[in-house]
Structure 1
C-alpha cells in the first residue's frame, strides 16, 4: 500500500463531492430554507436537537458544541443538544423500548413547539432516525436531515432534506461537517451581526 496513493484518492473523492454539492442549486436552496427555519426557531426561543449514529453521533455532538460555545464569533450561547450523549437515557430507552426509539422518545419528552430537529445519517435508513423524524411530526416541530446516497427512507419524512453527494461514507460525512459548520455560521451571522 502506498500511503500517498490512498491520500490522493481520498482527497480527490472529497473534492469531487464538494464540487458536486457546490453545483447543486436545488440542494443549496433547500439548505438556505432550512437555515432560515433554524434562525426563526432560535428567534422564538427554540432549541436545536441533533442525532445520529456512530460517526454521525460524533458529528451531532460536535455541532451541538459549536452552537452552545461558538464557531466564528464571540457571542451568547445558543441552546442545542445532541440526543446521543446521556448513557442512562440511551440505555434505559434501548432496554425498555428498543434501540430504534432512543431519539424519538427523547424528542417526545423534550421538544416544544419552537424547537427543531436535525437528523444525520449517511444512508438515510437508520431506524432510530426514521422514528425521530416521525416524532417531529407528532411534536409539530420541523425536521432537517443531512444524508447521503439516494436519501433513503428518511428523505420522505424530513421537512428539509440535504443529500450530500459522495461515493464513500467518508466523503458524505465530510460534507455533513461542511454543512454543519455552514449552518452554525449562518445562524451566528444572522443572530449576532454587529
Structure 2
C-alpha cells in the first residue's frame, strides 16, 4: 500500500507539473524582474502552508536572486510580522490582516502576490481587490480551479489540481524556479 501511495503521489505531481502553463510562469518572472528594474516592492502573502511559501519566496528572491546585483529585489512577506497580524485579527478581523498592511506600504508600481491553494481565502481576496483598486499589478498563485483569486488577479499561475499538498508542492517548485530564473538575469 505505501509503495503504491508514493508512486501515485509522484505521478500526480509530475502530471501537474507537465500541465502548468509555461507562459504564465514566464510572465510572472517578467513581472518580478520589471519590479526590480523599476525599484518597486513586491508584497507576498498567504495562509498556513501558503504563508510559509510566501516567507520562503521572500528569502530566496531577496538573497538568492539579488546577491551581487546593484539593483536588488524588494520582496516583503506580509506573513512575517506576527504581532501586526495578531493586532489586526484581534482588533478588526482576520480578513483584514493583509489589506491593512498594504494600506501602510503600497506605492504606485508595486506588485502584490497572493498565494492560496483554494483561491478563495477572504483575506487574500480582500488584499488583491485593494491592490487592483490602487492600480497595482496583482498575481494569484493558486491550486484547484484557481477560485476567485485566479479570476481577480491581473495574472495567475494555477497548479490546477484538486489536492492541497500537490498544489503547495507546485507552489514551492515555483518559488525555486523564480529564484533560478531571476538569479540568472544581470
The TM-score normalised by the length of structure 1 is 0.88
**Structure 1 stretch displaced more, 125-134 or 114-123:** 114-123
Equivalent residue for 1:155?
150
CA distance in 2: counterparts of 1:119 and 1:88, whole angstroms:
20
CA distance in 2: counterparts of 1:12 and 1:171, whole angstroms:
10
Q: CA RMSD in A?
A: 1.7
Measured after TM superposition, the shift of residue 74 of structure 1 is 4.6
Equivalent residue for 1:111?
106
Partner-residue secondary structure (3-state), 1:46: coil
CA distance in 2: counterparts of 1:143 and 1:179, whole angstroms:
17
Measured after TM superposition, the shift of residue 80 of structure 1 is 1.1
Aligned length in residues: 184
Partner-residue secondary structure (3-state), 1:161: strand
1:75 aligned to 2:68? yes
Equivalent residue for 1:13?
12
CA distance in 2: counterparts of 1:118 and 1:75, whole angstroms:
25
CA distance in 2: counterparts of 1:94 and 1:50, whole angstroms:
18
Alignment of 1:83-162 (within 5 A): 83-162=78-157
Which runs of 5 or more structure 2 residues have no equivalent in the other structure? Answer: none
1:176 aligned to 2:175? no
CA distance in 2: counterparts of 1:93 and 1:79, whole angstroms:
24
Equivalent residue for 1:24?
none
Measured after TM superposition, the shift of residue 144 of structure 1 is 0.8
Moved over 3 A (4+): none
| Pairing partner for 1:59 from 33, 53, 65 | 53
| Pairing partner for 1:32 from 26, 32, 38 | 26
CA distance in 2: counterparts of 1:47 and 1:179, whole angstroms:
19
Is contact 1:122–1:169 with CA below 8 Å preserved after alignment? yes
Is contact 1:31–1:160 with CA below 8 Å preserved after alignment? no
**Structure 1 stretch displaced more, 33-42 or 121-130:** 33-42
Q: Provide Cα deviations, 1:44-70, integer angstroms capped at 9, x if missing partner.
A: 111111101110001000010001211
Measured after TM superposition, the shift of residue 137 of structure 1 is 1.6
Partner-residue secondary structure (3-state), 2:19: helix
**Structure 1 stretch displaced more, 181-190 or 135-144:** 181-190
Equivalent residue for 2:37?
43
Partner-residue secondary structure (3-state), 1:64: helix
